[in-house]
Structure 1
Amino acid sequence: MLSASIILILSFAVLVWSADKFVYGASGLARNLGVSPMIIGLTIVAMGSSAPEIMVSANAALNGATDTSVGNALGSNITNILLVLGITTMVRPLTVSSTTLYREMPILLGFTLLAWYILSDNVLSFNEGIGLLVGFFMFIGFLIFLANHTKNPNDPLLADNDDEIPSDLPTLYAVLWVIAGLIMLPLSSHFLVDSAVIIAQFFGISDLVIGLTIIAIGTSLPELAASVAGVLKGEDDMAIGNVIGSNIFNILAVLSVGALIHPSEIDPNAASRDIFVMIGATVALLFMAMNFKGTRRINRVEGGLLLVGFVAYQIVLFS
């Protein structure tokens, strides 16, 4: 048990580090190859924070633990909104000004409802995985179209994304970081899933709950770090954009990976409990961030409510 806990912590650390370095190398390489910084920011950088979830989901599915894969996707989205944005907003209230975010927030709600429909029969099928994967590539195409046809090149989110892309990284070093990430991401996620399963079995926790809690919180650490760092630098749109982009990729990419590798029946609690928590959190974010209440700020009171919701959800899971 002790050794499994140590391996779990080390695996999380390596997973987060390797995901960061993979994105660093991939975005630097793309920039050196002449890809638009706007496209890099909206695709590679945005996908980077979901890389840990994708790799963990793939390893869980390979081990036949589709419930862990599903729990990771749903739990990460819940954690991103309730915990990550809750903590970030407590650090400093968030001002939402990016037109890009206003386009993506309704899209996130739409994909969240799609996830509800897919899981409502308690089965995650191969065909549903194909559909989600098609949706993923369509969304990437939308982001590229957005980057090429944006009417506001001074959009703060796009400017913040541009700042995250290395401009002086030699191509050789960029390639080495990409290779390192491609090696360390699957290795660390493999050890993470194995150790998490051991811990779950020791405490009698289901595969779904271990994905919703320990793994979801751990794989959301990049979003937490990026969002807090963003708000401290005054990049509020980046802080919210990381969460919205990651949640969309979790639904389309993380769920599809589990479905394609190991389609199966899933724990009924995913459709009867957890998906509704994810929908509720998404709707709450939409109302807090959009201009429905006369302001474009998510204040500390609202952030506190998000944190209370996260704690209440954890209590329900373990009660």
Structure 2
Amino acid sequence: MVYVTLLIGFVLLIAGGEGFVRGAVSIARKFGMSPLLIGLTLMSIGTSLPELVTSVQAALDGAPGIAVGNVVGSNIANILLILGITALIFPVMVDKGVLYRDGGVLVLASLACLGVVAIGALSRTAGFIFIVLLVAYISRTYAIEKRNTAALRASESVRAKARQENLWLAIVLTLGGMALIIAGARLLVSSAVELATAFGVSETIIGLTVVAIGTSLPELVTSGLAAIKRHTDMALGNIIGSNIFNIFAIMGATALVQPIPVPNEIIGFDIWVMLAATGLLLVFAYTGRTIVRWEGGVFLAGYIAYLGWLVLTL
């Protein structure tokens, strides 16, 4: 029965991801918003909801390893696994101006996460600061994109296509896709955790691997589909926005609901892997206008090595 649930969850993720990407692109066209802005805000928030639900529930259940490991593990998976697969499907275009702006915020968020992890506890004060930083980031991103006439001025063909699209249908597709993504992720995570627990794996390892991968599947599906449809700017925006959202929103909301300690395993190793993955992303992005397939292969190989290390140290 557990394997059937896993399969159902995967099917829901695929269907939800398809609907979400279609709806998000339609909304972007309708309002003259760039696909990148949609990826940085609406898509990153929507695909990070499974992490939010999982981490808050884990904190309430007294499982700090899952709560914190979910965030750190998801950020590692987003870059090494998801962006790696996305780049292998189709090279990911990089907007240097956006990278300087949002890449800087990602570095700030990652260093803030390091600070909390180094302290050894996620307090309500830290949670409040994280939420304030998230609101400031989203507001600033929207304001800058609105002022960027180049991003807002669509071509005549895009405008004509936007006029033909039904806004309400796009909204239904986006919200419906988001709902299917969340439902599918929850089925996958609950089933995977049940299987992992049966094998006697610690909650921190479960949070860093099974739960992190499970809750990151929405990003994988939406980024992969965005790459197939050649909306790679949306895919990159989804990864950067999701990682920022994971730290500021998920850790922030979790701390406000229930302050928790940070497991020693994360302090000693995994937080540094997250920082290294973030640094590698910025290096690859800054050294060219695209993240090419061989760089995607490096990401994926790095994730396989990371999982291998976790298995060896069980």
Please indicate the TM-score interval, normalised by the length of the shorter structure.
0.7 to 0.9
Aligned counterpart in structure 2 of residue 278 of structure 1, from 274, 278, 281: 274
Measured after TM superposition, the shift of residue 154 of structure 1 is 5.7
The 5-angstrom pairing of residues 1-80 of structure 1 reads: 3-11=1-9, 13-14=11-12, 37=33, 42-80=40-78
Residue 221 (str. 1) matches residue 217 (str. 2): yes
Do the aligned partners of 2:55 and 2:67 also contact (CA within 8 Å) in 1?
yes
Secondary structure (helix, strand or coil) at the match of 1:50 reads helix
Do the aligned partners of 2:77 and 2:303 also contact (CA within 8 Å) in 1?
yes
Aligned counterpart in structure 2 of residue 115 of structure 1, from 113, 116, 120: 113
Structure 1 CA distance for aligned equivalents of residues 20 and 60 of structure 2: 22
- CA 1:189–1:301 in 2, change beyond 3 Å: closer, same or farther? closer
Aligned counterpart in structure 2 of residue 300 of structure 1, from 279, 286, 293: 293
Once the two structures are superposed, what CA deviation does each residue of 1:132-159 show, in whole Å capped at 9, x if it has no partner? 1111111111122222222532699xxx
Aligned counterpart in structure 2 of residue 310 of structure 1, from 285, 303, 306: 303
Structure 2 CA distance for aligned equivalents of residues 5 and 257 of structure 1: 32
Provide TM-score, normalisation by structure 1: 0.80
Provide TM-score, normalisation by structure 2: 0.81
- CA 1:97–1:21 in 2, change beyond 3 Å: closer, same or farther? closer
Do the aligned partners of 2:87 and 2:296 also contact (CA within 8 Å) in 1?
yes
The CA RMSD measured in Å over matched residues stands at 3.6
Structure 2 CA distance for aligned equivalents of residues 99 and 269 of structure 1: 36
Identity of aligned residues (%): 37
Once the two structures are superposed, what CA deviation does each residue of 1:2-44 show, in whole Å capped at 9, x if it has no partner? x34443443455467568768877998x88xx97645666532
- CA 1:197–1:256 in 2, change beyond 3 Å: closer, same or farther? same
Secondary structure (helix, strand or coil) at the match of 1:309 reads helix
Which residue identity is paired with 2:281? L
- CA 1:269–1:228 in 2, change beyond 3 Å: closer, same or farther? same
The 5-angstrom pairing of residues 114-193 of structure 1 reads: 114-153=112-151, 167-170=165-168, 174=171, 178=175
- CA 1:60–1:40 in 2, change beyond 3 Å: closer, same or farther? same
Structure 2 CA distance for aligned equivalents of residues 130 and 269 of structure 1: 25
Do the aligned partners of 1:20 and 1:48 also contact (CA within 8 Å) in 2?
no
Which residue identity is paired with 2:302? G
Measured after TM superposition, the shift of residue 314 of structure 1 is 0.2
Measured after TM superposition, the shift of residue 49 of structure 1 is 2.0
Which residue identity is paired with 1:146? I
Structure 1 CA distance for aligned equivalents of residues 277 and 6 of structure 2: 28
- 242-251 or 42-51, larger mean C-alpha shift: 42-51
Which residue identity is paired with 1:218? G
Structure 2: state its 5+ residue gaps: none
Do the aligned partners of 2:45 and 2:242 also contact (CA within 8 Å) in 1?
yes
Structure 2 CA distance for aligned equivalents of residues 59 and 252 of structure 1: 17
Q: Which residue of 2 aligns with 1:261?
A: 257
Do the aligned partners of 2:82 and 2:223 also contact (CA within 8 Å) in 1?
yes
Once the two structures are superposed, what CA deviation does each residue of 1:41-79 show, in whole Å capped at 9, x if it has no partner? 653233222122222222322322232121111111111
- CA 1:125–1:23 in 2, change beyond 3 Å: closer, same or farther? farther
When the two structures are aligned, how many residues end up with a matched partner?
A: 306
Q: Which residue of 2 aligns with 1:250?
A: 246
Secondary structure (helix, strand or coil) at the match of 2:62 reads coil
